[in-house]
Structure 1
Amino acid sequence: MMVFKDHFYLLGHTFGVIVALEMAARLEKQGLVGTVFCVDTSPDALPIQLSALLQLSPDHGIDDQALQNSIVEHICKLLVDGYDSSEPMAVWAKELQRAVGEAKDWPSKVDAGVRQLRGRVPHSFQYARAHIEAAYARIRESLRYSAEALAAQPLSSHLVLARRALQEGEAAVLPSDLGLSRLSSAPVSVHELTAGGVDDLRLPAVINKYMRPQELEQFSKRDLRESYLLCTDKYISYFHDYAPGENEVKKN
């Protein structure tokens, strides 16, 4: 986020797009109008993308148990270094699915997933648990989020969408701007990226295109951004709970 006297810039990636749009609405109430960069998604597209990623079926309603199982399994697979489709990994993935599926509630499912990581990850179980819990909190809220309030009172800010090419299933239900045009009275600019997301090297050029020359000049001299990470309290609390105390460090 960058805020100037009469203008602001916000950038959100995946879950952060929702946060950026809501922040824009608040800034506009203070008399500012700005530019919001939406990377890879929109409020309308995110539930579809998440459901595809987690192999859920939004058409039949998303059961919370199925959501919990999918998130634990997905994050555990991401945390395992070198996870692939080989037979040993397939056996492990099946055991992970069984253990998580048999757990009766969310804490038990997290415990089951973390236990399956034993000997397979280089970091602590607390770190893995924090990842799983943070992912669940973000995904659950994203699936429940409704942009109807924004649509009822559209923004005046310029929305810039930088996205990868639409997949076949997405193109069938989403317009090229992923529905962002209903959230702003200003025209929406759409840029298609090859790699998609923040990994695409063309993304900085897209951002620079919409910044004013004097702001680019200021930015070349010092970093003007303010960054926000969701669920930082979980990571910080785990760090304080499990990091060695001052006396322990001195003893070593």
Structure 2
Amino acid sequence: MITLASSTVKWVRQCRSSCSLAYAARISVSTNWLVCDTRPRSSRTHCRTLSENCGSSRSLCCSSGVLAPSKIQVPQNANPETTLKDLGIADESIPLICSFLDVVYNVSLDEDSIPHLTLAGIQELVETATDIVPENVNGIATFFSSVSSDELLATTDLFVVPTLNKDITLSEDEFDVNKRYLCIVPGMEGHYERFRVLYERLKLPAFVLQPGYDRPRETIRETAERYAQVLLKKTGIQNNFYLLGYETGVLVALELAAILEDHGLTGTVFCLGCAPDEFQATLEEQLSSFKTEEQLQDAIIRHMSKLITGKDIPALDDILRESATWSEKVEACVRSLLGSMQHSVQYARAQIESALAYITRARGYVAPVRALRSQLVLLRAASSRPPAHALQRHSQRPVAVHQLRTPLSYVSSDMECPAIVNRYLDNDIKTEFEMKNLCEAYSLYKDIF
């Protein structure tokens, strides 16, 4: 059995259970020691994890940095195709390198493959992990980035998601009503998949309240009332609740918090992206290129069809020209997608129709001003606009504002978001998490009732 040094175990555990889960690391090649930089990876756009004094050989710098925990010395004239086995890597160093790659670069490798890694291969891994630049998106793609591949899960009103504080004794569709949860309210996209990076790093259980696609004419107030019934009847929501709204989900979350306060409850509401007024201004800006309602409808059909099939549909241009009304365009589009998609016709139609309905609903919404007793926390996406202060009207308490560097379309994947959410959790939740066994475990009898 391989035993890690206590200091290494402490460092790996700290990184795995920390708010950000992925810390940057700066490597001093000359001394082979590691210094953790406490900035989350999300705040390091284009930031190199290697020391600027690495010299002319990038391959040597990359490999020396990754190999720092193993104490292996890389010769200055080393062949890029040299493997770690050739360099004499010790068995006890293999878990250290695996943990280093996983925590710092988010690269998971099998321990058996580590001795066969070449210096050139290590360089490629590091460059791939640190040079990823998000694609610049605008228009409708800002709000609709994917279509859930699972029709059943996407239409479930309450979907429990896996977090760091998961309970292996419960199946995927069960939750403990005695615990407190983070209730995630999605935006116009309407399903859980956008929040994967966020919920996998939370220190408390969480679920997503999904609007479904069978109520396209439902108002934001009606959606909040429906969610409130779900929370009160199914989850037994307790005092000091936690809500997180993203994009139009912020509008619903504020209405939902007001309803819960009418039932004598207070809590914390995280507004991810921007305040209500600022979001509506952003929405109008992203849709400003569409001069008429017909142009907007055609753009929605093209974009949603591409998300559904994964490719452009050239025949759509002729179909849209030949159709006069919105319903005719939708029906003609859905028929043209047959044979090109894995979804049902009903699901594809609902995706297209709900996209226009949710955009129309958000554009016409007027947020009621009510000073909530709950704490409001704004995780503000990067914006060219000056910071908005209108959110303060919705709270009796000072609003906590955290300025992020990620644009709205990617802010739900910003590593800082779970770090900020975890920071506002009550001490009893933090203490429970610190005492929790973080080892991966599996239930052998979960299918036996």
TM-score using structure 2 length: 0.39
Pair 1:185-2:405 in alignment: no
| 1:119 Cα deviation from its structure 2 partner | 4.8
CA RMSD of aligned residues (A): 2.9
**Number of matched residues?**
199
1:22-61 equivalences under 5 Å are: 22-56=255-289
| 1:5 Cα deviation from its structure 2 partner | 4.4
Report if aligned partners of 1:68, 1:136 keep a CA contact under 8 Å in 2: yes
| 1:132 Cα deviation from its structure 2 partner | 1.1
Residues 128 and 188 of structure 1: CA distance in aligned 2, closer, same or farther (over 3 Å): same
| 1:80 Cα deviation from its structure 2 partner | 3.6
Residues 5 and 118 of structure 1: CA distance in aligned 2, closer, same or farther (over 3 Å): closer
1:235-250 equivalences under 5 Å are: none
Letter in 1 for 2:302: E
Partner Cα distance (1:178, 1:107) in 2: 40
- CA offsets, 1:181-218, max 9 Å, x none? 22223222222334442211221111011111113345
Pair 1:210-2:439 in alignment: no
Q: 2:82 maps to what in 1?
A: none
Partner Cα distance (2:401, 2:260) in 1: 23
| 1:21 Cα deviation from its structure 2 partner | 0.6
1:58-207 equivalences under 5 Å are: 64-81=293-310, 83=311, 89=312, 92=314, 95-100=315-320, 102-147=322-367, 149=368, 151=369, 153-166=370-383, 168=384, 171=385, 175-177=386-388, 179-195=390-406, 196-207=410-421
Query: Residue 44 of structure 1 aligns to a residue in which SS?
Result: helix
Partner Cα distance (1:43, 1:203) in 2: 19
Partner Cα distance (2:345, 2:389) in 1: 38
Letter in 2 for 1:38: C
| 1:219 Cα deviation from its structure 2 partner | 6.5
| 1:23 Cα deviation from its structure 2 partner | 0.4
Query: Residue 277 of structure 2 aligns to a residue in which SS?
Result: coil
- Which structure's CA Rg is the greater one? 2
Q: 2:98 maps to what in 1?
A: none
| 1:20 Cα deviation from its structure 2 partner | 0.6
Report if aligned partners of 1:54, 1:74 keep a CA contact under 8 Å in 2: no
Partner Cα distance (1:68, 1:102) in 2: 14
| 1:123 Cα deviation from its structure 2 partner | 3.1
For structure 2, list consecutive stretches of 5 or more residues without a partner in the other structure.
Answer: 1-182, 184-205, 207-235, 437-449
For structure 1, list consecutive stretches of 5 or more residues without a partner in the other structure.
Answer: 84-88, 222-252
Query: Residue 45 of structure 1 aligns to a residue in which SS?
Result: helix
Report if aligned partners of 1:12, 1:18 keep a CA contact under 8 Å in 2: yes
Query: Residue 73 of structure 1 aligns to a residue in which SS?
Result: helix
Partner Cα distance (1:165, 1:105) in 2: 37
- CA offsets, 1:211-242, max 9 Å, x none? 11113345676xxxxxxxxxxxxxxxxxxxxx
> Relative to total residues, which structure has the larger helix share, 1 or 2?
1
| 1:37 Cα deviation from its structure 2 partner | 0.7
- More RCO (CA 8 Å, sep 6+): 1
Partner Cα distance (1:27, 1:127) in 2: 32
Partner Cα distance (2:392, 2:332) in 1: 43
| 1:107 Cα deviation from its structure 2 partner | 1.7
Query: Residue 301 of structure 2 aligns to a residue in which SS?
Result: helix
Residues 146 and 109 of structure 1: CA distance in aligned 2, closer, same or farther (over 3 Å): same
Partner Cα distance (1:178, 1:71) in 2: 32
Residues 56 and 158 of structure 1: CA distance in aligned 2, closer, same or farther (over 3 Å): farther
Partner Cα distance (2:329, 2:356) in 1: 12
| 1:143 Cα deviation from its structure 2 partner | 1.3
Q: 1:248 maps to what in 2?
A: none
Partner Cα distance (1:46, 1:73) in 2: 24
